[in-house]
Structure 1
Amino acid sequence: MSEITYVRGDATAPSVKGVKVIAHVCNDIGGWGKGFVPALSRRRPEPERAYRAWHRERATNDFGPGAVHLVQVEPYAWVANMVGQRGVRTGGKGVPVRYDAIDTALEHLAGRAAELGASVHMPRTGCGPAGGEWSRIEPLVLGRLVQRGIAVTVHDHGEGPR
């Protein structure tokens, strides 16, 4: 595979066989509630609970920019909470997205996805409330996942850009 597959549909419920990882970007302050995560929580409450515990216990774990926490939600399905944004507000320091943290998180995710033999499914992660540009995130996904032979599908909900 040498490219990302783009489909219209719900990234919270990829309809493919085999092991799959649903990946998305989280902030570094423990907030959960905007962008992709409300839909994810409606379908699968475990990732939110795990993220909040991971953040709460951050003094004794790896929580921070670029970290990834995989949460098993079904026998063959996982959710990857990837810390790739600083805070939640756009302001004097720009948008919350941190491309370097997303790149690091994708590198970690690639190793785990390869171990699991999993495909990766995501929205245009980092491009909602985080304020990122897909033109900057797509090359990171290609370089860290696709070039390692990991199948990646980006799910555009509704009439999103192609």
Structure 2
Amino acid sequence: MSGIVYVRGDATAPQGKGVKIIAHVCNDLGGWGKGFVLALSRRWPEPEAAYRRWHRERARNDFALGAAQFVQVGPYVWVANLVGQRGMRTGRSTGAPVRYEAIDAALGLLAAKAEELGASVHMPRIGCGLAGGKWSLVEPLITERLTARGIPVAVYDFGA
């Protein structure tokens, strides 16, 4: 038993009561424009603006693989920008841009923030879309970093 609850629905509309953190994986190039981030940007402008500013000012902050940025978008809702993807896929790319060790490090930061806020964590299958990762490798990281610490996690599969 992983402790992860799987939900059919939209991760940008997290279910349940209390403080919620919506987590997703970003690349380390400052690119925001495909995949789950489009759904985030349709709902709230703040996560994209914060991510772009974080990347632009990276010489003076902690922006890097394995970093996490937390953006409050409502009284009880936060978005976690987790940098877990090296570059982006292009027509000539070989190999997936996912970086499991970076996702693992960012999940550790997410766990600390979730504990601080008393929050549950909500996400799509992070690192497994455009980043090209395998859920069989990401799921144990979530279990170890989050659910093993008692943090409730819901993973959303979009669609009917």
Using structure 1 for the length normalisation, give the TM-score. 0.95
Q: Would you identify which runs of 4 or more consecutive aligned residues in structure 1 move more than 4 Å? A: none
User: What secondary structure does 1:107 align onto?
Assistant: helix
Distance 1:95 1:158 in 2: 25
Deviation of 1:158 (Å)? 1.1
Aligned runs of 1:105-124 on 2, under 5 Å?
105-124=106-125
Distance 1:26 1:127 in 2: 12
Give the partner amino acid of 1:10. Answer: D
Distance 1:48 1:58 in 2: 15
Deviation of 1:2 (Å)? 5.6
Give CA-to-partner distance per residue, 1:98-149, whole Å, 9 cap, x none. 0000000001100010000000000001111100010100000000000000
Unaligned runs of 5+ in 1: none
Distance 1:33 1:8 in 2: 24
Give the partner amino acid of 2:27. Answer: N
Using structure 2 for the length normalisation, give the TM-score. 0.96
User: What secondary structure does 1:26 align onto?
Assistant: strand
Unaligned runs of 5+ in 2: none
Deviation of 1:89 (Å)? 1.3
Identity between Structure 1 and Structure 2 (%):
72
Give the partner amino acid of 2:109. Answer: H
Distance 2:137 2:121 in 1: 18
User: What secondary structure does 1:62 align onto?
Assistant: coil
Deviation of 1:15 (Å)? 2.4
User: What secondary structure does 1:97 align onto?
Assistant: coil
Distance 2:19 2:9 in 1: 18
In the alignment, what sits opposite 1:4?
4
1:59 aligns with 2:59: yes
